[in-house]
Amino acid sequence: MSEAYVEGSLKDFMDTNHVIPRVVYECILTTKADGETNAAPMGVIFEEDGILLRPFKSTKSYRLLKRAPYGVVNFTDDVEVFYITTFGAESDFNELLTPSVSVPAPSLANAYAKLEFFVESLVDEDDNRAVFRCKVLKALWKLREAKPYTRAEHAVIESLIHATRLKFFLESGMIQEAIQLAHLIKHYDALVSRVAPNTVYSSIMVKLKALISSWGLSGPLLGLFEFQKE
Ligand SMILES: Cc1cc2nc3c(=O)[nH]c(=O)nc-3n(C[C@H](O)[C@H](O)[C@H](O)COP(=O)(O)O)c2cc1C
């Protein structure tokens, strides 16, 4: 991958990188307020002249954006970065960060694209979720080499996102919903074992399963997560 970032407007970024408005893309959102830093996977939706972020109100990302309304939308396809920023310790993700150019929040050092933004308005909110409309101050992206498609990458990302909700459902006593997600994770785990055995993808699935097993599962969930170690 070329080391230098190309710099331009949001429109330049969208045109060059074939971004489609209204599609949810997955980024790593980096934020900072009063010396407190965060990095977390987050969906981002592009509009013609801005971006929308939809954090759950229970997230640290939401709390930091409310306190200091700026951040960076970082794009990476490194599944380990997704894992670390979802379930890793703060010290692990801090090592991945670097200062940004135009906002006082850090960005992800190995991102292939970054959108530095400020929050323009809170456009919608309910009990669970807020929707922030953000203006991009600076878009930076690298010219990328070809990267063949593997189903494993998507299976791992889907498993991570389902695991974040599974944890929430368990904590909220929503067992049927938790079981549904557990079945999906089990399905993706089997897929990763088939298409990417003994790789970075399968080792993340091993870590994820161990983590889920530590969440005090009971009843049918216990059976679902009696995965054997690889
Ligand atoms: C691929 C992916 C996409 C996610 N998208 C969102 C999202 O759009 N909004 C949200 O609140 N959480 C989302 N999550 C879950 C958060 O990243 C997760 O709950 C995280 O722990 C919240 O981080 P925070 O409390 O450190 O901000 C996503 C997780 C993954 C793996």
Residue range 111-148, pLDDT digits in tens:
999 999 999 999 999 989 999 999 999 999 999 888 99
161/103 Cα distance (integer angstroms) = 27
Determine whether the shortest distance from the Cβ of 54 to ligand 1 is under 6 A: yes
Mean pLDDT of the chain: 93
> Which of 141, 162, 184 represents a domain boundary (last residue)?
141
Instruction: Tell whether 11 and 92 lie within a shared domain.
Output: yes
Q: What are the backbone dihedrals phi and psi of residue 197, each rounded to the nearest 5 degrees, phi first?
A: -65, 145
In this structure, which residue's CA is closest to atom 10 in ligand 1?
A: 55
> Which of 89, 116, 141 represents a domain boundary (last residue)?
141
Instruction: Based on DSSP, count helices (H) and strands (E) in the chain, helices before strands.
Output: 8, 9
Residue 146 falls inside a structural domain = no
Instruction: Tell whether 93 and 162 lie within a shared domain.
Output: no
58/145 Cα distance (integer angstroms) = 37
Instruction: Tell whether 25 and 124 lie within a shared domain.
Output: yes
Distance from residue 90's CA to the centre of ligand 1 (Å): 15
Of 104 and 229, the structure prediction assigns the larger pLDDT to 104
Q: Which residue has the tokens 């951040």?
A: 71
In this structure, which residue's CA is closest to atom 7 in ligand 1?
A: 42
The secondary structure element, H or E, covering residue 162 is: helix 151-171
pLDDT at 226: 67
Residue 85 falls inside a structural domain = yes
- The number of domains in the chain is 2
Residue 60 falls inside a structural domain = yes
Determine whether the shortest distance from the Cβ of 164 to ligand 1 is under 6 A: yes
Give, for ligand 1, the residue of 28, 31, 56 to mutate: max count of ligand atoms closer than 8 Å to Cβ.
56
Distance from residue 59's CA to the centre of ligand 1 (Å): 8
Q: Which residue has the tokens 């970054």?
A: 114
- Chain centroid to CA 56: 13
